[in-house]
Amino acid sequence: MKRQAGLAFALIFAGALPALAESAYPTPTRDGRERIQRTGTCPTGYVGKGAFCEALQRDTPHAFPAIPGKTCPSETFRSGDACKAFR
């Protein structure tokens, strides 16, 4: 019984790992720059590094992946395939 519960937990946890790796929320790099999940073209002020877009400077305005077919929220504008804050 314990073995089955352990196996079920392992399968659930293994299935959750890709979801955790592909967060739509910005994550900081070691030097304080912002990194977002790449969904296409990176916004201005960001450079593509594999599956992520990484800010060129620490004070680059925040950005997040845009939802296809939707407009960006107020106080943001469309840049590449992302919504980016005015400042």
pLDDT, tens digit (0-9, with 9 covering 90-100), for 15-31: 544 544 566 678 888 99
Is the pLDDT score of 7 beyond 60?
no
Angle value at C-alpha 77, between 75 and 79, nearest 5 degrees: 150
Contact 40, 46 (CB under 8 A): no
Which pLDDT score, from 0 to 100, does residue 9 have? 57
Is the pLDDT score of 59 beyond 70?
yes
Long-range interactions of 25-29: CB distance < 8 A, separation 24+: 25/64, 26/62, 26/63, 26/64, 29/54
pTM: 0.69
Percent of the chain predicted with pLDDT > 70? 72
